[in-house]
Amino acid sequence: MKEQIKILVVDDEPGIRDMLSYELCSHDYQVVTAVNGEEALEKVGKEKFDLVISDIKMPRMGGLEMLDAIKKVNPDIEVIMSTGYGTIETAVSAMKKGAYDFVQKPFNLDEILAIIEKALEKSELRALLGVYEASRNIFSLIKLDELLPVMAGLSNRILKADDVSIMLMDHESRLAVAAAAGLDDDKRGKTRLALGERVAGKVAQNQDPVIIDGPLDKDPRFSGIDSLRDIRSAIVFPLVMEGRLLGVLNANRTVREAPFTSADLRYASVLCSQIAQAIHNATLYRALDNKIREIQRIQSQLVESEKLAAVGKLAAGVAHEINNPLTGIIGFAELLLKSGELSYGQREDVQSILDQSQRCRRIVQNLLQFSRRKKGNVETVNLGSLLEASLQLMKYDLLRSDITVEKHFPEDLPCVQGNAAQLEQVYLNLISNARQAMEGKKDGLLKISASNEDGRIVLRFEDNGCGIPPENLNKVFDPFFTTKAVGQGTGLGLSISYGIIQEHQGTLRVESQAGKGATFIISLPVFSKESAI
């Protein structure tokens, strides 16, 4: 049955209009008539037609002018021109303007019917081409948040809807709008629908697409569901992939008067299977992306550990060689200072020998500590009390640098298993780095917080100091990387801390934006009686 196909017949001669109407209706086409181009154009603006058959010579607006205007309103509509005084030239100019074909009066009805059939096939083909184009667009995007709005826009265009929304199922099996086209934010609806709730929920539950024509309350399939908006016609289509429900697509006509047809439902079907496939691909891509990130993270940890091991060996050798002569220099310098036989100038010189040698010893001690990072005594450590002790040690420095410390530790923070002295060293390194980064700032603020996240304790040291430029973010944990002036930093604090946390089965990482401060984040496994040896 062709009742869905609507043809507009435009002719100023009532006899022709009546004859064509009669013949076309008897072939199950729906026919609307217009007496000139102007009236035809007005009707095309309001209703959806599949085809127009129009005379060329008419008063007011002629056929060619009307053809131009119709193609502007709807380039997809096929127009067949007819005239009684046809010349080859008018035929050619009509075809150039986009007419599908040309028939001469008096009509041969069989010829007209054959041309109509062909024209309709062409417009179906064009719609399918649109769907094909859409699918190419869809598959070139792989991120869901970029993909869904594009899909909504394309569906809106292809289905000639006034608005389209794509609802996806969340992990609680509720439907929520994930993307929309042609809808204001306030109309998108923030509610989440359970399966069976409203029209979308019903369609999702039954996994059966529907066309709704006219008001909902007149539709027995949806009795008891009232319409939220004034919708003239709607297609609601489930998005299903390998039998699994992913969501639904809602396409609505609120302004366009023509209802959706079974042809539209066919396009929606092709479109929805493409959309479901694309969502499926995007989900797979997301899982893959997470895996790759995880592998990259583990790899960079591995590189960091290898670097530490290599530098550790070297450092141990050098430190050992320097340590002995250094002990001699310090000892003799102290002896000389105590002897009382030196002039004032000489005492100053020896004092500076002593100061510099002591600095060398601190560096050597750092190096040794770095290389000998073997597991210390393992005990149950309360990270909150340990932090208090570290802050106490740094109290004077922090006060002098005018830095406020905010501590947010939950009362019931679980303990960890580890070496308190080493963990304290990590605290001291991080606090001292933060202090140095905020030096000279008036409102220096160091926030230290702890939280229990899925069996791990996460500690955050957040300062509002100078921050770390992006090009240095990968380097700060490298041994001997420092941006501090010569003599101010050895560049070992963070690599030592990194190694210590790693030995505690934890991770240490940094987030920062230059000029906006830095946050160092430690994650450690919670101590549980079961995991204790």
Q: Residue number with the shortest CB distance to Mg ion?
A: 493
Could you say which of Mg ion, ligand ATP, none residue 482 binds, taking C-beta under 5 to 8 angstroms by partner kind?
Answer: ligand ATP
* 408: three-class secondary structure by DSSP: strand
* Binding-site ranges for Mg ion (CB under 5 A): 433, 493
Could you say which of ligand ATP, Mg ion, none residue 491 binds, taking C-beta under 5 to 8 angstroms by partner kind?
Answer: ligand ATP
DSSP letter (8 states) at residue 377? -
In one letter, which amino acid is 166?
Answer: I
The CB-of-453 to ligand ATP minimum distance in angstroms stands at 22
Structure tokens at 318: 């050098």
Task: For the chain, give the longest Cα–Cα distance.
Answer: 135
Residue 378 β-bridge partners: none
Please identify, using beta-carbon distances, which residue of 201 and 493 lies nearer to ligand ATP.
493
Q: How far is CA 339 from CA 332, 356, 357, in A?
A: 10, 20, 19
Residue 343 β-bridge partners: none
Integer Cα distance of 275 and 376 in angstroms:
57
Could you say which of Mg ion, ligand ATP, none residue 234 binds, taking C-beta under 5 to 8 angstroms by partner kind?
Answer: none
Helices (H), 252-375: 262-339, 344-371
Could you say which of ligand ATP, Mg ion, none residue 274 binds, taking C-beta under 5 to 8 angstroms by partner kind?
Answer: none
Please identify, using beta-carbon distances, which residue of 276 and 518 lies nearer to ligand ATP.
518
The CB-of-291 to ligand ATP minimum distance in angstroms stands at 30
Integer Cα distance of 376 and 313 in angstroms:
19
Please identify, using beta-carbon distances, which residue of 362 and 400 lies nearer to ligand ATP.
362
Please identify, using beta-carbon distances, which residue of 9 and 431 lies nearer to Mg ion.
431
Could you say which of Mg ion, ligand ATP, none residue 93 binds, taking C-beta under 5 to 8 angstroms by partner kind?
Answer: none
The CB-of-494 to Mg ion minimum distance in angstroms stands at 6
Please identify, using beta-carbon distances, which residue of 350 and 496 lies nearer to Mg ion.
496
The CB-of-516 to ligand ATP minimum distance in angstroms stands at 10
Please identify, using beta-carbon distances, which residue of 301 and 482 lies nearer to Mg ion.
482
* Binding-site ranges for ligand ATP (CB under 6 A): 429, 433-434, 437, 463, 465-468, 476, 481-484, 489-495, 518
Could you say which of ligand ATP, Mg ion, none residue 248 binds, taking C-beta under 5 to 8 angstroms by partner kind?
Answer: none
Could you say which of ligand ATP, Mg ion, none residue 484 binds, taking C-beta under 5 to 8 angstroms by partner kind?
Answer: ligand ATP
Asked if residue 139 lies in contact with residue 281, where contact means CB atoms within 8 angstroms, the answer is yes
Q: How far is CA 408 from CA 92, 394, 418, in A?
A: 82, 18, 22
Please identify, using beta-carbon distances, which residue of 390 and 490 lies nearer to ligand ATP.
490
The CB-of-173 to ligand ATP minimum distance in angstroms stands at 45
The CB-of-521 to Mg ion minimum distance in angstroms stands at 17
Q: How far is CA 238 from CA 169, 265, 503, in A?
A: 11, 12, 52
* 74: three-class secondary structure by DSSP: coil
Asked if residue 416 lies in contact with residue 526, where contact means CB atoms within 8 angstroms, the answer is yes
Beta strands in 160-268 (DSSP E): 163-169, 174-181, 193-194, 210-213, 233-241, 244-253
Please identify, using beta-carbon distances, which residue of 11 and 462 lies nearer to ligand ATP.
462
The CB-of-488 to ligand ATP minimum distance in angstroms stands at 7
Asked if residue 29 lies in contact with residue 2, where contact means CB atoms within 8 angstroms, the answer is yes
Asked if residue 254 lies in contact with residue 229, where contact means CB atoms within 8 angstroms, the answer is yes
In degrees rounded to 5, what are phi and psi of residue 314?
A: -60, -45
Could you say which of ligand ATP, Mg ion, none residue 500 binds, taking C-beta under 5 to 8 angstroms by partner kind?
Answer: none
Structure tokens at 501: 């946390």
Q: How many residues does the chain have?
A: 533
The CB-of-463 to ligand ATP minimum distance in angstroms stands at 5
Could you say which of ligand ATP, Mg ion, none residue 221 binds, taking C-beta under 5 to 8 angstroms by partner kind?
Answer: none
Please identify, using beta-carbon distances, which residue of 234 and 518 lies nearer to ligand ATP.
518
The CB-of-489 to Mg ion minimum distance in angstroms stands at 6
